[in-house]
Structure 1
Amino acid sequence: MATDENARRTCETRRATLWTDVPPGELSITCRSNTYPKGFYCTWTLLHRTFIPTTFEFDVQHNQRSLEVQPDPSHKNRCHVRFPEVFSSHPYFVNITAINALGKAATTYSFEESYIVKPDPPVRVVATPVKDNPRRLEVSWNSPSTWPDTNSFPLKYFLRYRPLIREQWQHPVNMLYFFQFYYKQEGERERVRREEEGKGERGRGVEKRGEGDKERKEGEREEEVKERKKRKGETEKDERKKEVGEKIRKRREREKEERETEKRKQRNKKGKERERSLEEKELKEKKEEKRKREEKGEKKERWKMKEKEREKEERRKRQEERRSENGLKEREWREKLMKKREKGERKKKGRERRKEKKR
């Protein structure tokens, strides 16, 4: 008895959870383009574990054709795809099939090109105090190395700051705690420093009143040349931005027109289908009415035929009745005639017997 009790306690203390193998289920798919306009990548994960080895088949469709897929060498569940064209209005369809020994399951994910463009954050972000002005802070950064073309596709930056005594992030436009922020990309810091040095030289030139005028004029000319070059570069950059913006605007207008035309086509298609259904309904109703009329006509004809047959049968019966009545009358007449003849013969015989008696 004690042995059974010890065995039962041992089994109870050695309980374990057994996981059974399951076929693959639905996947979670995300796609992103941080190297626009070169390409994009997609990652996926199984929502439920299968506990057995599972492989994946990756397929991307765009404008009714398959695109070349390159697996990521370092990430198992990631693939890279190159954009076949820029500013495309056709959506992309990503289909991933999970396969293991117990079965397979496919998941489809669709998106448009503009919805997955998301650059990486800037790099080399540095904040340094401005010389001779402790209330100013200079912030500089570089564009992300993964972004291939900053001239054709310039990036916009959003800057926030948070003092140590605050918990919420704030914008530089609030000018809290007398901090002034300068938004500069790579190369802007050197230009500001040269401008400040030029201003200092011009201030010292005012005191000297001699050679300073010449140096000031030369500096002004250099500044004008630099300003012209800068304006020229900015105008070219603005023109490129305008061109890109115009392309984006035209693409959006084209997409809008395509959507409107598609809606009109759908409405026209629905209207035609409605008209076709109404015509089919009217045709069916006409056929049904014709069939009913024909059935009524056939019924009427059958009824007329039956009436004729019934009248014919009644006439035949009446004729038979008349004939039978005429036959009875004829028999009665013949019987009366026979009786009269017999009576006449009896009278004749009686007269003859009386005559013989008289003789």
Structure 2
Amino acid sequence: MAWSSLFVTLTLLSCIPGHNALDLLKAATASNNLPAIPAVQCWCAGYPNQTLCSWPETSQSPPTQYIATYSERHTQSATKQCHLIPPGSSSSALSSGSSNSSGQLWHCHLGDLKLLTDYIINITAVNPVGSSSHLTSFMLEDIVKPDPPIDVRVSPRSSRKLMVVWSPPPTWSNLDIFPLKYQIQYQWENRGTPQSMHLGPFERTRIELGLTPGRTYLVQVCALELLGLGECSNWSSPVKITMPKS
């Protein structure tokens, strides 16, 4: 038998109890030059229709191309093409939170998604040797992740009071219909030991903090969908402030 012609298909199925997501990784293995299985992450930065998936660019040879499709999981609806955005692109489909890393990532934009609907997305890497696929199931409500708030500003009102003000992420365009709420995180060191405090969530875009005179703090803000969909994980860049001494 000629081992060079041997073709093996490996399928890994993972179902996590208590989660709606179903991840299926399928690799067709012919040689060491087979494209790597795309490590795909999906999120919705502008509810309900600013949804992107991303995966790292590969340095493998021969060059890899991608096929990206999605469809409703429990219906006979037609399969749609996910609009591919190459690494380094300045496409308007990229949210501000993802564009910072677009030089190393492929993206695809999913349009016309509906609420309370289970979707399957299939990202297949292809080169002349073979193909590898990542197949994932998700619901839009489970991947809501607003971009970080912008224009975070801090101003001491006294040696113990600090006003923090910010603006909503510009990629969240439906504030009247889908309001946001916010969390505040501030960090400091106490005798060399890192300390942190979280406040919120609340709907206002400003808050007054009671802090210690003379101490230096790092302040960050994170946005959440009002109904609590998704997680608060996209924090703004930290703003450093040293409080006046008494």
SS for the counterpart of 1:114 is helix
Q: Give yes or no for contact 1:70–1:79 (8 Å, CA) kept in 2.
A: yes
Residue 167 (structure 2) pairs with residue 163 (structure 1): no
Distance of aligned partners of 1:184 and 1:90 in 2 relative to their CA distance in 1, 3 Å threshold: closer
Report what 2:106 is aligned to. Answer: 77
Residue 82 of structure 1 deviates from its aligned partner by 1.4
Deviation of the 1:33 alpha carbon: 0.7
Answer yes or no: is 1:185 the counterpart of 2:212: no
In the TM superposition, residue 118 of structure 1 has moved relative to its aligned partner by: 0.3
Q: What's the CA shift for 1:100?
A: 0.9
Q: CA 1:23–1:157 in structure 2 vs 1: closer, same or farther (change >3 Å)?
A: same
C-alpha deviations, 1:71-118, integer Å up to 9, x for none? 225146211111333x2x321111122111111222211111111110
| Structure-2 change in CA distance of 1:135 and 1:107 (3 Å) | closer
1:63-212 alignment, distance < 5 Å: 63=75, 64-72=77-85, 74=89, 75=102, 77-85=106-114, 87=115, 89-130=116-157, 133-165=158-190, 167-171=194-198, 184-185=204-205
**Residue 70 of structure 2 contacts residue 120 of structure 2 at CA under 8 Å; is this kept in 1?**
yes
Higher RCO (Cα < 8 Å, 6 or more apart): 2
1:22 matched to 2:33: yes
Aligned match of 2:48: 37
Q: Could you tell me how far apart the structure 1 residues matched to 2:138 and 2:189 are?
A: 41
Q: Deviations over 1:235-258 (max 9, x none)?
A: xxxxxx9xx96xx9xxxxxxxxxx
Higher strand share: 2
Q: Which has the higher helix share?
A: 1
> Kindly tell me: are residues 172 and 21 of structure 1, through their superposed partners in 2, closer, same or farther at Cα, counting changes over 3 Å?
closer
Query: Does the CA contact (< 8 Å) of 2:189 and 2:195 recur in 1?
Result: no
Q: 1:61 corresponds to which letter in structure 2?
A: S
Aligned-partner Cα distance in 2 for 1:30–1:84 = 17
Q: Please give the alpha-carbon distance, in whole angstroms, between the structure 1 residues aligned to 2:113 and 2:52.
A: 14
Partner amino acid, structure 2, of 1:30: Q
Structure 1 residues 183 and 65, CA gap change in structure 2 (3 angstroms): closer
Q: Distance in 2 between matches of 1:30 and 1:158?
A: 23
CA distance in 2, matches of 1:183, 1:41: 26
* Structure 1 unaligned residues grouped into runs of 5+: 1-19, 174-181, 190-240, 249-359
Report the TM-score when normalising by structure 1.
0.39
Mapped contact 1:93–1:110 kept (Cα < 8 A): yes
Gaps of 5+ in 2: 1-30, 90-101, 209-224, 230-246
Q: Determine if contact 2:33/2:61 at 8 Å carries over to the other structure.
A: yes
- CA deviation vs aligned residue, 1:218-241 (integer Å, no higher than 9, x gap): xxxxxxxxxxxxxxxxxxxxxxx9
User: For the structure 1 residues 105 and 128, does the alpha-carbon distance in structure 2 shift closer, same or farther, using more than 3 Å as the test?
Assistant: same
**1:42 and 1:78 in contact (8 A); partners too:** yes
RMSD of aligned residue pairs (Cα, Å): 3.2
Partners in 2 of 1:129 and 1:41 — Cα distance?
38
| TM-score (norm. length: structure 2) | 0.56
Q: Secondary structure at the match of 1:107?
A: strand
What is the aligned residue count? 160
Measure how far apart 1:68 and its partner are. 4.4
Give SS of 1:145's match: coil
Equivalent-residue separation in structure 1 for 2:82 and 2:199 (angstroms) = 44
Q: After TM superposition, give the deviation of residue 67 of structure 1 in Å.
A: 2.9
1:56 deviates by 0.8
SS of corresponding position for 1:115? helix
Matches within 5 A, 1:274-289: none
Q: CA deviation at 1:38?
A: 2.0
SS of residue in 1 equivalent to 2:144: coil
| CA distance in 1: counterparts of 2:64 and 2:113, whole angstroms | 30
In 2, distance between residues paired with 1:171 and 1:128?
19
Residue 83 of structure 1 aligns to which amino acid in structure 2?
A: D
Q: Shift of residue 142 of structure 1? A: 0.5
